[in-house]
A = this chain, B = another copy of it.
Amino acid sequence: MDWKQQLNNYTEKINRELEKYIDGNANNKNQTLIDAMKYSLMGGGKRLRPVLAIASYEIFKEDTHKVLPCACAIEMIHTYSLIHDDLPAMDNDDYRRGRLTNHKVYGEGTAILAGDGLLNYAFEIMLQEALKEDNIKSYVECMQVIAKAAGVHGMIGGQIVDLESENKKIDKETIDYIHLNKTAALIAAPLKVGAILAGANKDDIKNMEDIGRNLGLAFQIRDDILDIIGEEEKLGKHVGSDEDSNKSTYPSLYGLDYSINRVKELTCEVHEKLNRYDTKSKFLYELSNYLINRDF
């Protein structure tokens, strides 16, 4: 199967699961909350994180049903972080993925609760699955991987440093901390979780996590590069120094050429680490290429 067709199949499967999870939740009282959660959850995300969980799982095992709840939970956590990130007190964004942000549609109070609801619900669905599992311990290990990646030493840790760094010149160590925690942690987690649930050995689990960290970092640097290129096209002039921006980025700290090279280096490392799985990692190989070279 063509890898893009496979991506499409995965995405459809994930969307169906997410919709099922979220629709099962409304009662006649909390409808607004569920609507607000659904608005962002079903609002056209790329489903990158759950796709990575499935793709990682499939390297080691053939069925995929076991990884789906964790994959969906990670997407819920990612979505909650976007809802809270978009709030006026944070990035103050009116649009995301071409649609009004959650608080612009439902109001700030409901958006805060919708975010809280998605984070909490992510754990609810994983706990429900864990109790059905024969190997409950490895399921709990996966939940721990996800909770750590989303937490104060992971995504939320990255978010606070990002928030504190606005309108400030930051050093290279700090931008790496932000990228590795705010972005890469929740990209490494699904790859690690897929391997754990499929019963991979310790070495492979570590390998998949490393792939995720490199991929996540490359993905974020590519984002920074695209911001600069987009800005240049919009302004019709060269931008590339932090003086033009209120946020330090990889290109503003290291220059555009270095940043482009860093993405290439990280991509090579990802591909090298995938090589050991031969044809089984073809999908992840193609997907990582696509993500890292994207111009969207």
Seen from chain A, the residues whose Cβ lies within 8 Å of a Cβ on chain B are 25, 27, 29-30, 32-34, 37, 80, 84, 87-90, 103, 107-113, 115-117, 119-121, 123-124, 127-128, 130-131, 136-137, 140-141, 143-144, 147-148, 150-153, 156-157, 159-161, 163-164, 174, 177
Contact = CB atoms under 8 A, between A and B. Distances in A.
A112 B87 contact: yes
Contacts of A117: 151-152, 156
B127 A140 contact: yes
Contact of A159 (B25, B113, B115, B130): B113
Nearest to A27: B153
Q: How many copies does the complex hold?
A: 2
Give chain A's interface secondary structure class.
Answer: helix
A120 B147 contact: yes
A103 B34 CA distance: 26
A152 B37 CA distance: 10
Given A127-B144, A136-B136, A144-B127, A152 B30 contact: yes
Given A29-B177, A34-B152, A130-B140, 9 more contacts: A29-B157, A30-B157, A32-B164, A90-B112, A120-B147, A121-B152, A123-B123, A123-B147, A124-B151
Query: Which residue, of A32, A109, A143, A163, has the highest number of chain B Cβ atoms within 10 A?
Result: A109
A128 B144 contact: yes
A110 B123 CA distance: 23
A157 B33 contact: yes
A130 B103 CA distance: 36
Given A112-B84, A144-B131, A29 B174 contact: yes
Contact of A163 (B34, B84, B109, B147): B109
B127 A147 contact: yes
A84 B108 CA distance: 11
Contacts of A112: 84, 87, 89-90, 112
15 contacts: A29-B161, A33-B152, A37-B152, A87-B112, A89-B107, A89-B108, A90-B109, A120-B151, A121-B151, A123-B123, A123-B147, A124-B147, A124-B148, A127-B147, A131-B137
Contact of A113 (B111, B120, B128, B160): B160
Contacts of A136: 136-137, 140
Given A30-B160, A147-B120, A25 B152 contact: yes
Nearest to A130: B140
Contact of A152 (B89, B120, B156, B159): B120
A136 B148 CA distance: 19
Contact of A140 (B34, B140, B153, B157): B140
A73 to B, nearest CB: 11
A109 B177 CA distance: 19
